[in-house]
Structure 1
């Protein structure tokens, strides 16, 4: 069945490419010698191409249901190619409609717009070979056609502007400019097809800039830099849009595995700088940067592949004993890092300011969290906003006695433990800085809490881990004579519980977390200013099994 579907897709795509090429040839002739007969013929050919596109998309959908993960991007790429081929013919029909409004069609030949279509035709001819050979270099050639058409259009636009300023046939000039724009939009379709073919070859969504960055990264590790010999397996995608993949380079019997991240240049530059800062401040904790390449607004990072598992996987899939072993080494590592990087300079985390900045996003997802104060059993409960205003005042009294170098985004999936080497590593380090260490503690605890786990035994293990983690970190704070630790951690947990709900659509879990923020604020604000430093976090109530 699969082979039959693949053959049907190949056949229909072949017919669609031929149809598009034929229509473009006819359109080229039409722009050189406009005639009503040829125009009507082009307008009448919409149905065939549309039917071919729909057949290809339907067959791809069937294959996607049974396709291995590695093939998903290939079949999605075929879908995109079919859609954009049909879009090019639709743009051609729009051109015919525009030509109908020209008073002097002879101007079309003088404009030389028909020559632009030769660029499109050449690119269309490369589509089937690029797909059949999985040839990313040929796909890049298709994509570069878009830039050529953009340059043609930019020049034509400037020429038209000058002619309009001279008052020469403004209506005709604007119609010709519209036709030029429609041809330029065909270049946009070519670029999308190019990127779809490349993504199918690599096995991960990539635009042209990201692919160039990938090529450059690989060339820095190999002599040949043959990007097509690279295998990639998509791992995740960050909320900021950076794609994360496991990349394997094979050269003979040798294999090199690395983590490949592609995304916005600004974000990846921050991560590179974060990793490099850790190497200077506390060597051995962060992975090595193997390569950093940038192009335009995109960039790519190749990072050392670290042995071990993330804390998230350990918590979800390992035994209680293994979890506690990992926690022991995490606590030991944190104590060493914090002691090594300690600066005896008071600092304030401003958790409430961070919370206020993110509250609009929280309320956009969960508008009922914005309710005012309520009365229950004769007792009036303050609204979250009222509590937040009061907490902002209280926070000014709670200053950490020292700062340490923190991770900055200390989620369970950003901590790796290697049980063989008994070693902890940190990843995703773009937010690292000197700060109050309770920020990392709060983020780690809440990132455990928000794991969507229905299994009660696993849930109990997670809550136990949070309580044990808190107890150990509190002992560290006592040894450092940090008297406001619990009160500051309470504010950090308020911030993390509440702001994390903007990523959670599960209403029950989101409410559990937001109401914990509310409860914790009530508890903290019940303490008098004199007793804030004696405040004790209600850990059992917050992290019950």
Structure 2
């Protein structure tokens, strides 16, 4: 890491102090010596002072150094590592306090807690070398200590449970278990230190599991040394990065790297493969897939072009018109090709019911709907959902098609050169009622947080034209309750999307539109279901 001498020196002093604390804890576990215990507890102030010196030096460096002449990630790593080393010292103090009340310290050295400390000591020895050499492989070894401690602690836990069943020294056994648990927590700290070293080396935040996944994906394609640019962190916790062959050249992207839970990414891989079979050419190619424990990674083909959101916001009406025309033609082809006679319900009211808690957590004022106004009863949101649910059950979809499943604007790619639409982020693709995608697309237009009147008019126009296209498809395919089911989908998307919106005005506008639609649906009967209509232009104005 590229650090000023003052920071580096204090970091090494803190490493030496932490190593001394861990060594003293080992001696204390072996001997129970009061003097060793006091030595550990008395050094806490020195550890804190060293950490604060590093903090202060990092702040001074940021303030005084010319712009662009500081290694921000190295400074950030130095601060994080300083805090982590203090945490290791704090754990040593905790262990001393736990043991302090015991009268028979000799019992502790007969249980194998010392083996855990040996792993921590070896890890601390590696930190200085890893910092000096920016050695990511050594950093990985430091991080691996966490897994080894977890396994060792699991064995110790079982051993302590057996001891509790047959020993009279219950207090000592329980204390020893607590000490083992605190030492096991040191493994988490070592993992954090490992990730800080790797992040400083790469110049971007990087978790160990993500680094291993990325390394495996690049190795599969022979792209060692490629530029990695973070693009996004999704709401579901996945990371998205671009792999570039040439520094700063967007056209040089070799692929898009995604990492996250194995379940989600495996679903996306299977969905992409399904798209290739069902409708070739829409989904990107999968270049690499790797799993690591509960996590997985995908390296997928980079698709050139603009997202539909970019096309909408760049204020080029001709490009936007071509994008919408291409999108509707593509959807018409997909829906017609994949249409099945068996309907699959979207269950909009159930979807909204599951997300309502998250909505209220962000916007507690939405819970106040309902009650009585001037003698008139106003239904609560739960009552509106109950009524809408009955209407939804009575009006099932007449057929199903293969849908995207997360049809937001940024998951649609338009290549203006080839006049081609492509889809990304396909982990929710399945056969379902097509109004699911229609509602998500329309509301993802409305929820864009732009205020200028020109753009809001474009948003309304896009939503209206897209609705008209979908309504025409419904008419041609004998779907008389399309508008009613779309209303259910729009209500769900308007209300549930507010959990991602902190702007109170926009969130309120979306919520009230959703409530308005639910109120309209309350009066639907079997005789009026097919004639149900919504004022689309007014809803999206």
Q: TM-score, normalised by structure 2?
A: 0.90
Distance 1:38 1:369 in 2: 59
SS of the equivalent of 2:242 reads strand
Q: Does 1:395 align with 2:383?
A: no
Query: 2:288–2:299: 8 Å Cα contact kept in structure 1?
Result: yes
Q: 1:193 corresponds to which residue?
A: 193
Q: How much does 1:12 deviate?
A: 2.1
Distance 2:115 2:528 in 1: 81
Q: Does 1:412 align with 2:437?
A: no
Aligned ranges 1:18-57 → 2 under 5 Å = 18-57=16-55
Distance 1:60 1:465, change over 3 A: farther
Cα deviation 1:400-439 (Å, max 9, x = unaligned): 3322111011011111111112111111111111111111
Query: Root-mean-square deviation (CA), in Å?
Result: 2.9
Distance 1:493 1:155, change over 3 A: closer
Q: 1:421 corresponds to which residue?
A: 418
Q: Does 1:512 align with 2:535?
A: no
Distance 1:160 1:469, change over 3 A: closer
Q: How much does 1:245 deviate?
A: 1.0
Distance 1:296 1:86, change over 3 A: same
Q: How much does 1:319 deviate?
A: 1.7
Cα deviation 1:330-379 (Å, max 9, x = unaligned): 11111111111112334433222222232232233323323354566776
Distance 1:433 1:176, change over 3 A: closer
Q: 1:231 corresponds to which residue?
A: 227
Q: Count residues in correspondence.
A: 535
Q: 1:218 corresponds to which residue?
A: 218
Distance 1:462 1:244 in 2: 27
Distance 1:110 1:347 in 2: 63
Distance 1:109 1:321, change over 3 A: same
Counterpart of 1:283 (choices 257, 277, 280) is: 280
Q: 1:77 corresponds to which residue?
A: 77
Larger CA deviation: 17-26 vs 324-333: 17-26
Q: Does 1:501 align with 2:501?
A: no
Query: 2:143–2:208: 8 Å Cα contact kept in structure 1?
Result: yes
Distance 1:541 1:124, change over 3 A: same
Q: How much does 1:446 deviate?
A: 0.2
Distance 1:101 1:320 in 2: 76
Q: How much does 1:451 deviate?
A: 0.9
Counterpart of 2:536 (choices 519, 536, 539) is: 539
Distance 1:59 1:307, change over 3 A: farther
Distance 1:276 1:324 in 2: 30
Distance 1:110 1:496, change over 3 A: closer
Q: How much does 1:220 deviate?
A: 1.6
Counterpart of 1:461 (choices 444, 447, 458) is: 458
Cα deviation 1:259-293 (Å, max 9, x = unaligned): 11111111111111111111110011011111111
Q: How much does 1:176 deviate?
A: 3.2
Q: 1:16 corresponds to which residue?
A: 14
Distance 2:262 2:126 in 1: 31
Counterpart of 2:472 (choices 475, 478, 482) is: 475
SS of the equivalent of 2:402 reads strand
Structure 2, gaps ≥5 residues long: none
Distance 1:104 1:346 in 2: 72
Distance 2:345 2:180 in 1: 58
Q: 1:321 corresponds to which residue?
A: 318
Aligned ranges 1:277-426 → 2 under 5 Å = 277-373=274-370, 381-426=378-423
Aligned ranges 1:63-142 → 2 under 5 Å = 74-111=74-111, 113-114=113-114, 116-142=116-142
Distance 1:230 1:212 in 2: 15
Larger CA deviation: 397-406 vs 441-450: 397-406
Q: TM-score, normalised by structure 1?
A: 0.89
Distance 1:115 1:44 in 2: 25
Distance 1:181 1:440, change over 3 A: closer
Structure 1, gaps ≥5 residues long: none
Distance 1:220 1:53 in 2: 41
Query: 2:81–2:196: 8 Å Cα contact kept in structure 1?
Result: yes
Q: How much does 1:109 deviate?
A: 4.8
